[in-house]
């Protein structure tokens, strides 16, 4: 691990404050940073370039400074901000940045180094006071050569403009590899001219539930793919920003879109005729016969012509072998090849692809399942089963990339707030993400040289929009950049101050990120006359400040220290602050007794954690959709400490979702109580999920409407404080009922 020089002005013991108020709010933190005396005034500075490659770095600096409201920075042969080629600076991404009161000099031996020096200088200017930046000497280079993000465009398609915006933001964070997941069971997104059905058939699907129909009930297709012309433009854009794109063509599994387009590739006689709208692991595998290899090699030829980088990702994950095991011809092929089983056949399949790529000057990357068989010696392993695959690969002499689930899977939600976007329900918060150690202890120093770097993956089953994508990616992608570039000794307090400064830069550019963990949450207890409010902020950054007169808090407002007791009618507003900087948006609550007797499902506890998800409703087709909190294996919610005194009625908001999850035989584990009416019932029990039934609410009224519906029923007299357990009765899992909110009515 490298040493990062930290000085008194970056004291780790300093109180939480906006990092913009400190001299060096940089993210990622440079390798070596030595403050000097004085400041440099950028307000009247000009830029001078010297040597090849300096012009693009200078243009990047000027563009970013302008986008964040900084000075104009004209070009001039006498400019005091200088970009200089220096062969003595070793490392293809290394640079030196020297700021004195008279001049700024960025030096590097490579175009990438000059570019990254410009990124660092921009960060200093963007958060400077009155255009003055502190004098400093920075010598910097990355800890890892592979600093990556994966974007899944197969499950949900993103426009070219978004992909380029992502590349732009990656470059700001000094991330240099975009792994582009272009094919899967749910869609084929890359034009292959030799095989047009791959996009004509594989690029379209009918989404599950109401989203798959228009207002008249007619089926609608969700389509999208990238033309070769568009891909060339994206690759060129990425190259200009020193980002390499690694395409993934997933095989032999995750191949439903492929075999739907060309059934001759399938391992079964009657494969699907369209891409799937199911999320999960589907059984469809490519048939590993000569005709398939000819097809795949032709596809790879076009892929390699589009993507000039060294690596081609072939997937290899989650290839369920049922179809191969049931196919007599494939079983005969296994015997003919002298292989042990279907896992060994996948190894043989992967090795053939690796050999083909090697003949064309490329290297194969696959998920860590490729280790189940014999793989080419130069194959690189991307480890997603924790870090075990990377450890196994490195010990066997393979290069490896750490992309462990769940911590680096960006489809996991970032807090337990009910305002989080859709995603997997196991929370991976920012502090936990920051705490990841990219240097596996199980490896020797020699073996660690095989760890090329780290990568975080955005799977998009639940990420329907680009706004959602931004929230799931950022700020965790910036945290990844810190780990990949700086590999720091962990200091959450110091890092969080620099993260706040990065968020200020994003705010000034209108760039999206997830603000929800920064925003206070409230829990209510007490009595109708005196309501107790406990506040918390999931991110644990800064200080919560509040007002009780309905006005927005300021940095001078009272700091929250303990639960507040307030009377009905009080307008409580709370917001977190880091020094003088407001974090997220203010949260508003009007004190009323109803707050004590209403609970959202997101604020309840799930009865189980088998597959917890924040699931978006399947409608409307356009516009905002509700997001529901549910374990799809056991839809059941607990409200701890519900006040039942005087309650005569229960009112519930419920919704119904399609069960579009490919979970194999596990679907047989989903059990529901038999309904008393055709539509089923919401069942509310007291004290435990085996306790007495308070009420069974018929759901027939909710079947006549789309979206959430309010159903209600009177209940027998209740008293005291009790736990409540809510479940549904129905005949099967598809579609399934979900609870959004429960209100106890007096």
C-alpha distances out from residue 559 to 17, 532, 576, Å: 14, 16, 9
Coil/strand/helix, residue 325:
helix
Positive or negative, the CA dihedral 185, 189, 190, 196 is: positive
Q: State the DSSP code for 485.
A: I
DSSP 92-144: TT-EEEEE-SS-EEEEESSHHHHHHHHHHHHHHHHT-BTTEEEEEEEEE--S-
Radius of gyration of the chain (CA): 28
Which H, E and C letters describe 78-98, residue by residue?
A: CCCEEEEECCCCCCCCCEEEE
Do 176 and 147 contact (CB within 8 A), yes or no?
Answer: yes
Q: Which of 71, 64, 54, 62 is nearest to 133 (CA)?
A: 71
What's the farthest any 2 CA atoms get from each other in the chain?
Answer: 86
372 included as an active-site residue: no
Q: State the DSSP code for 190.
A: B
- Cα–Cα distance for residue pair 313/310, rounded to 1 Å: 10
Buried b (16+ CB within 10 A) or exposed e, 159-198: eeebbebbbbbbbbbbbbbbbbbbbbbbbbbbbbeebeeb
DSSP 403-468: EEETTTBTTB-SSS-TTSPSEESS---HHHHHT--SS-TTS-HHHHTTEEEEEEEE--TT--SHHH
Output the CA angle 218-222-224, nearest 5 degrees. Answer: 150
| C-alpha 379, offset from chain centre | 26
Asked if residue 406 has a cis previous peptide bond (ω within 30° of 0), the answer is: yes
Helix (H) / strand (E) containing 161: helix 160-172
Q: What token pair was written down for 543? A: 């200080």
Catalytic residue among 21, 164, 302, 318: 318
The residues carrying an active-site annotation are 318
């Amino acid at each position: 691990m490298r040493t990062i020089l930290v000085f008194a002005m970056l004291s780790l013991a300093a109180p939480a404050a906006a990092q913009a108020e400190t001299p060096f709010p940089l993210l990622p933190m440079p390798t070596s940073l030595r403050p000097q005396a004085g400041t440099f005034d950028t307000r009247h500075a000009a830029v001078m370039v010297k040597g090849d490659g300096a012009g693009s770095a200078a243009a990047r600096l000027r563009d970013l400074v302008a986008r964040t409201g900084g000075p104009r920075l004209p070009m001039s042969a006498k400019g005091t901000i200088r970009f200089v080629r220096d062969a003595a600076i070793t490392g293809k991404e290394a640079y030196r940045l020297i700021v004195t009161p008279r001049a700024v000099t960025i030096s590097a031996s490579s175009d990438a180094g000059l570019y990254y020096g410009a990124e660092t200088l921009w960060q200093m200017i963007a958060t400077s006071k009155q255009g003055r930046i502190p004098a400093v000497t920075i010598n910097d280079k990355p800890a890892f050569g592979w600093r990556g993000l994966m974007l899944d465009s197969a499950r949900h398609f993103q426009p070219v403009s978004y992909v380029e915006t992502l590349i732009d933001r990656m470059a700001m964070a000094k991330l240099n590899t975009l792994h582009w997941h272009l094919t899967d069971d749910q869609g084929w997104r890359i034009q292959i001219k030799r095989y047009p059905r791959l996009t004509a058939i594989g690029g379209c699907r009918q989404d599950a539930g109401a989203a798959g129909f228009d207002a008249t009930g007619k089926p609608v297709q969700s389509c999208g793919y990238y033309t070769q012309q568009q891909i060339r433009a994206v690759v060129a854009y990425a190259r200009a920003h020193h980002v390499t794109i690694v395409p993934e063509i997933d095989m032999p599994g995750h191949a439903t879109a492929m075999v739907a387009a060309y059934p001759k590739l399938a391992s079964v006689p009657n494969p699907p005729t369209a891409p799937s709208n199911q999320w999960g692991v589907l059984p469809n595998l490519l048939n590993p016969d000569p005709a398939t290899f000819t097809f795949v090699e032709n596809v790879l030829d076009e892929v390699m012509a589009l993507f000039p980088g060294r690596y081609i990702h072939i997937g290899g994950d989650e290839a369920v072998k049922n179809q191969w095991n049931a196919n007599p011809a494939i079983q005969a092929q296994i015997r003919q090849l002298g292989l042990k089983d279907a896992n060994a056949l996948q190894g043989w399949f992967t090795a053939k692809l690796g050999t083909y790529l090697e003949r064309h000057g490329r290297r194969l990357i696959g998920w860590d399942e490729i280790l189940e068989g014999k793989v080419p010696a130069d194959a690189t392993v991307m480890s997603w089963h924790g870090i075990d695959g990377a450890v196994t690969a490195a010990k066997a002499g393979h290069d490896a990339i750490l992309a462990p689930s769940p911590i680096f899977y960006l489809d996991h939600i970032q807090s337990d707030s009910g305002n989080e976007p859709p995603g997997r329900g196991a929370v991976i918060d920012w502090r936990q993400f920051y705490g990841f150690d990219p240097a596996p202890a199980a490896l020797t120093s020699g073996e660690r040289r095989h760890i090329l770097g780290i990568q975080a993956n955005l799977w998009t089953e639940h990420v329907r929009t680009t706004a959602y994508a931004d929230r799931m990616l950022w700020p965790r992608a910036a945290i990844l950049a810190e780990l990949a570039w700086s590999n720091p000794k962990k200091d959450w307090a110091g890092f969080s101050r620099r993260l706040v400064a990065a968020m200020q830069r994003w705010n000034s550019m209108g760039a999206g990120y997830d603000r929800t963990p920064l925003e206070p949450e409230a829990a209510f207890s007490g009595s109708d006359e005196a309501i107790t409010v406990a506040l918390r902020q999931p991110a644990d950054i800064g200080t919560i400040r509040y007002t009780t007169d309905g006005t927005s808090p300021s940095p001078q407002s009272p700091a929250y220290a303990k639960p507040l007791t307030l009377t009905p009618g009080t307008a409580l507003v709370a917001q977190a602050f880091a020094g003088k900087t407001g974090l997220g948006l203010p949260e508003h609550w009007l004190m009323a007794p109803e707050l004590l007797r209403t609970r959202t499902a997101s604020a309840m506890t799930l009865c189980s954690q088998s597959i917890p998800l924040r699931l978006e409703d399947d409608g409307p087709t356009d516009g905002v959709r509700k997001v529901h909190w549910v374990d799809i294996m056991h839809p059941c919610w607990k409200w701890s400490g519900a006040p039942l005194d005087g309650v005569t009625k229960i009112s519930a908001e419920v919704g119904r979702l399609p069960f579009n999850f490919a979970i194999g035989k596990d679907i047989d584990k989903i059990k529901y109580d038999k309904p008393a009416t055709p539509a089923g019932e919401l069942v509310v029990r007291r004290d435990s999920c085996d306790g007495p039934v308070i009420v069974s609410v018929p759901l027939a009224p909710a079947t006549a409407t789309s979206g959430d519906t309010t159903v209600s029923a009177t209940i027998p007299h209740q008293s005291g404080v009790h736990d409540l357990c809510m479940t549904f009765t129905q005949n099967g899992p598809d579609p399934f009922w979900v609870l959004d909110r429960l209100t106890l009515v007096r």
